[in-house]
Amino acid sequence: MTRSSKDLIYASKQDKVEKFVFDEDVAGVFEDMIQRSVPGYTALNQLLPIVANQFIQEGSNVYDLGCSLGEASISIANATNCSNIQIHAVDNSAAMIKQLQARLKSLNLKFPIQLIHDDVAAVDIIDGSFAVLNYTLQFIDRSQRDMLINKICTGLNKNGALLLSEKITYQDVNEEALMQQLHENFKRQNDYSEMEISQKREALENVLIRDTHEQHIERLQKAGFSKISVLTKYLNFVSYLAIK
């Protein structure tokens, strides 16, 4: 885990709330932000290397798509049982890549991590055994999501797997309202103020666009994944394990 400053981005009243972007301000507080905003984040990170070791194949490529500060990549590099793999950490945020680059200099990892500053949709997936797409698809234009999942599935080897984590929405309006309320209560419990919650919600409007559970399952099936399981679910945050 990185040493992150406390997230105070929305702690002061903003005359105009700008659209949320993964800039230097966000990168500087990202670890604190995600810990306090995403239920089950710590548990997922603890589970990730266990799942990865089940699927990573010797001599293959591993992809961390939308890597942010590289938590998944570093976890895999530290825990893998393989002796020859290549880990590719991809993010379109220059600020995130810059911070991850600095972080890696202080770590003695078993495997080097290749950092790629690019859109995840632009990266070739080749000879892959495991891919991570955590809280990334929801920020990608809806028209590009099917193509990206298809590309990942095509680039994975047989028995390779994708770990996909997303904040979902619900078809039932009452269930949607309840889960949104519980999520905001989770944030309150983690010391976010009403103003912070409100301004963050406004900043994310039309930026973080959620799909339903049914849409995720259908997309993964159409892409060619043969087995899809819900790995974890905390309120409206779900992680799927899709096996080719």
**Strand (E) positions, the chain?**
61-65, 86-91, 113-117, 128-134, 156-167, 227-234, 237-243
Verify that 189 and 101 share a domain, yes or no.
Answer: no
* Number of Cβ within a 10 Å radius of residue 34: 19
Verify that 122 and 232 share a domain, yes or no.
Answer: yes
**So what's the pLDDT on residue 108?**
86
Residue 6 lies in a domain: no
CATH number, domain with residue 122: 3.40.50.150
Verify that 78 and 148 share a domain, yes or no.
Answer: yes
Verify that 102 and 180 share a domain, yes or no.
Answer: no
Verify that 120 and 222 share a domain, yes or no.
Answer: yes
Q: How far apart are CA 63 and CA 67, in angstroms?
A: 9
pLDDT digits (tens, 9 = 90+) for 52-101: 999 999 999 999 999 999 999 999 999 898 889 999 999 999 999 999 99
Residue type, 107: L
**So what's the pLDDT on residue 4?**
63
**So what's the pLDDT on residue 2?**
45
Residue 70 lies in a domain: yes
Residue 3 has pLDDT above 70, yes or no: no
Verify that 46 and 163 share a domain, yes or no.
Answer: yes
Verify that 199 and 117 share a domain, yes or no.
Answer: no
Verify that 131 and 232 share a domain, yes or no.
Answer: yes
Where does 80-193 have alpha helices with state H?
A: 94-105, 142-155, 173-189
Residue 224 lies in a domain: yes
Structural domain of 194 = 174-209
Give the neighbor-by-neighbor strand order of the sheet with 86-91: 113-117, 86-91, 61-65, 128-134, 156-167, 237-243, 227-234
Verify that 66 and 141 share a domain, yes or no.
Answer: yes
Verify that 197 and 102 share a domain, yes or no.
Answer: no
Please give the tally of structural domains in the chain: 2
DSSP state of 140: S
